[in-house]
Amino acid sequence: MFFELINQSPEAANTYQFSSVEVKQLSFRIDGVFLPTNNTPSLPIYFVEVQFQADSNFYSRLFAEIFLYLRQNKPTNDWRSVVLYPTQEIDTADIKHYREFFASQRVRRVYLDELDSTPGQSIGLAILKLVIEPEETAGITARELIAQVRQETTDEATQEEFLQLIETIIVYKFTDKSREEIAQMLGLSDLKQTRVYQEALEEGRIEGRIEGTIEGKLKAVPPMLRLGASLEQIAEALELQIEQVRHKAVSHLLASGTTVEQVAQALDLEVETVRQIEASNNQNDELIGEG
């Protein structure tokens, strides 16, 4: 999909290896780097950044990351950079120190809302646009994309990747909806059978084993909650008491700004139960403050 964004053939991906690269100094991390394979010095390196929030310092950080990478790795290939924005309104950073990079097209900006929506548009680009689809129509669009993928994509591995991407976008787009609601939205029999759900469960089990403590397991509750797992399913998967999972889930949602009533509805709890957990958290905060 990346190479389609920059008007190149999708087959160009076969000559690149993709990775997320951490630049050692200052813990810089570049979202994605496409490195040419098979010793092809004529092909450029592509540095990719996904920027979905306004950041006045974004370009100074981007170029610092790129130049530090070039200094540390000394690649023989030339380089390009592509920045992906949902809309042009998010692109607020000053470019006065870097105008030449944009004028020469060494750095390109892609705005998802400006991509053409035509009948002949590739499935990959159509799925990317799902990220900025309004919530009111996202469910319908996702179902149409799922049907299109199943009808037009013959390669099973590619089909699975497309379906997984659609599922992931919808799950994270509707964090307040239950597993059953999202499954219905996507026209699936059960979200629990999808790869994104199964991977979240396994991630929770692995993180709990690595941490080796209840605290470590509880860290996996919020991401599993976002995927629509019920409190009972999370408790079973992580081998925790239901009360521990309930307390963590309520605390997480309250901390994110969700109201008591919304938390109660989302977790199918009594409002009074949520208020009791909220009061307990406040009391603990006061004790910590006094200490």
In this predicted model, what pLDDT tens digit does every residue of 248-285 receive, in sequence order?
Answer: 989 888 888 888 888 888 788 888 999 998 888 777 65
pLDDT at residue 27 in the model = 45
Average pLDDT across the chain, whole number: 80
Query: Which of these ranges, 15-24, 34-43, 121-130, has the smallest mean pLDDT?
Result: 15-24
- Helix or strand (DSSP H, E) at 247: helix 242-255
- Cβ 112 vs Cβ 86: under 8 Å: yes
φ and ψ at residue 122, rounded to 5 degrees = -65, 155
Confidence bin at 99 (pLDDT 50/70/90): very high
Domains of the chain from N-terminus onward:
1-114 (3.40.1350), 117-173 (no CATH), 195-290 (no CATH)
Mean pLDDT comparison of 192-196, 216-220, 231-235, highest-scoring range: 231-235
pLDDT at residue 205 in the model = 53
SS (H, E, C) 209-233: HHHCCHHHHHCCHHHHHHCCCCHHH
Closest CA to 12 of 49, 31, 40: 40
